[in-house]
Every structure is written in C-alpha cells, then in structure tokens.
Amino acid sequence: MASSAAVGARHSSGLRALSPSRATDFKTCPRLFRYKVVDRLPVPPTPAQARGTTAHLALERLFDLPAAERTPARLYDLFRRAWMELRDRRFPELFDSVDDERAWGTGALELLANYFSVEDPAAIEPIHREFDVTRSLGRMRIRGIMDRVDETDGNIVIVDYKTGKPPAPRFAASAFFASKVYALLYRAETGRTPTALRLVYLAGPAVLELPVDDRMLAATRRQLEALWTAIERALTRNEFPPRPGPLCGWCPFLGICPAVEDPTAASTGRADAMTPEVT
Ligand code: SF4
C-alpha cells in the first residue's frame, strides 16, 4: 500500500528517512507525528485499515493472473485469500462477532466491484507493483511504495489505489501529495520523469489524474525540504505542538492528547468532507 511506507526517526541524532505518510502526519499535527514516530505508541488497527491493506494485496495479485482471468470473481477470491493470510497475523480480534466480520467482508467486496467500472485490468500490464524505493535527495532520505506503475507508448503513470472516498474538490490538490513524492522518487531511481499521476478511488468510484512536469517536481522537493527541516528542528528541540482540527475525530491518540478537552465530542463530530484516506 503505497502511502504507508515506514519512516524512522531518532530523537538524538535526527531523521533517518521520511515517507509521504509521516510527512503528512507532521503537516497535519506535529503531536500526532511525535506519538507515532518518536514515542512509537501503538496504533490500534481498524476495520477500514484492514479493508485497505487486504484490498491492496488482492489488487496487486490480480496482475499475477493472465489478462483474461482478471475478473471480478477472481479479485473477490484473491481478497478472501488475502484476508485469511492477514487476519490472524495483522488484525487479530478486530471484530466482535462473525456477523460483524461477514458484513465487513461483504462491504469490501462491493467496494472491489467498483474497481472494474474505472479500470479494465485486462488491458493493463504494469511495469511495477508495490515498487519500494528509498533514495537520498540532497540531505533528505525519502521512501515511498508505489502501488502500480504503468507504461503505455513511453508514457509512465504512477497509480495509487484508495479505498476511501474521493476528496471534496477543495482537497483534491493535496490528495496528490504522496504521488508527487513518488514521482520524485521514480525520477531519481530510473532517470525517467513520469507523465501522470492517477488516484483510483474505489469508493465513489472515481479516478483523479494529474500531469507531471518539472515545475511540479521542483515544488514538491522544496515542500519536502521544508518539512524535513521543520521535523529535524522539532526533534532537536523536542517540540511537537498539538494542532487540533477536524481530523482529531479520527486520531488514534484522541484519548491521550492534552489539546482535546472532550474526546467524545471530537470523535462524534467528524465531518464527512474531511474523511482521512485509507490507502
Ligand atoms: S487529537 Fe488532534 S491535536 Fe491531538 S495529536 Fe491527534 S490530531 Fe493532534
């Protein structure tokens, strides 16, 4: 799953590597970043995360099959098998009952059915899947995992699957942040500049696309450098101020965060338009 690459940080000697996910955490709320990366507090798994992880694995394996066999039925089967592999190892005791788990599975299969209305997997031959790249960019060390990379007539497209809803229009630009970082990494790794970025939202369903150019990549690099500097400063000073906002309702640390006086009100006041993406 592309946007969940690990990041390491050492309090005493600075940042080792940064992924788009953790960069986004810091942008959203430095305290959230501290809880995850510095304090390494456990984050309880959720059904949405389990669905995203399992769906990504099934979609990755779909392209192991011959083109003619990339059908909805085979994808559902891959999802069931992936869940059997992941359930006890990654998501033990996630559901209170068999009925809850069954309802979750039914919802996940309905989501996967949407995939075929936005892409025809029989017509796609990816050149990479789960493409894991770590590169030094100047003084930074950046890691990203691309769900899929396609090449058609010399045009390279980096594809990211999303099992959450597509963003409201005003958040669409920021939805591409991780993919822009992947494009930077892809160019550093291969010497080739991707042509476009594609976000495939299974809930919706919807596809968002953005062409890539050098100006965009230069701006993304500047943004990463500013974040890298800010994170290193925060690590040196041990200053990670909380930044309360609409996303607190989904924060796994809501119950311990000193900035939120009423965690119950925050968790029930979630705004749909701000639904965080589960990749
Ligand atoms: S509850 Fe809100 S302010 Fe506190 S760590 Fe989470 S996102 Fe930050």
- The percent of the chain in helix, strand and coil, each rounded to the nearest 5, is 50, 20, 30
Between the CA of 32 and the centroid of ligand 1 the distance, in Å, is 6
**In the 8-state DSSP scheme, what is residue 37?**
I
Name 143's Cβ contacts closer than 8 Å, sequence gap at least 6. Answer: 5, 6, 7, 17, 18, 19, 132, 133, 134, 185
**CA 225 to centroid of chain Cα atoms:** 20
Distance 218 CA to ligand 1 centre (A): 30
Q: What is the pLDDT of residues 177-191, one digit of tens each?
A: 999 999 999 999 999
User: For residue range 96-117, what is the model confidence (pLDDT) as tens digits?
Assistant: 999 999 999 999 999 999 999 9
Determine the atom of ligand 1 nearest the C-alpha atom of 30: 8
* pLDDT tens readout for residues 20-72: 999 999 999 999 999 999 999 999 999 999 999 999 999 999 999 999 999 99
Phi, psi of 196 (to 5 degrees): -155, 165
The protein residue whose alpha carbon is closest to atom 7 in ligand 1 is 248
Check if 249 has its Cβ closer than 6 Å to any atom of ligand 1. no
Q: Where are the beta strands (DSSP E) in 138-252?
A: 140-152, 155-162, 196-201, 206-211
Check pocket membership of 18 for ligand 1, CB cut-off 6 A: no
How far is the C-alpha of 126 from the C-alpha of 218, rounded, in Å?
A: 26
27 lines ligand 1 (CB under 6 A): no
How far apart, in whole angstroms, are the C-alpha atoms of residue 274 and residue 270? Answer: 8
Distance of CA 261 from the midpoint of ligand 1 (Å): 11
Q: Is 33 in the pocket of ligand 1 (CB under 6 A)?
A: no
User: Looking at residues 150-160, what average pLDDT do you find?
Assistant: 97
Whether 104 is in the pocket of ligand 1, judged by its Cβ within 6 Å, is no
pLDDT in tens, 119-149: 999 999 999 999 999 999 999 999 999 999 9
Q: Ligand 1 within 6 A of 247 CB?
A: yes
CB of 251 closer than 6 angstroms to any ligand 1 atom = yes
Between helix 20-28 and helix 214-237 the angle, nearest 10°, is: 60
Indicate the top mutation candidate among 26, 37, 250, 253 to test ligand 1's pocket, ranked by most ligand atoms within 8 A of CB: 253
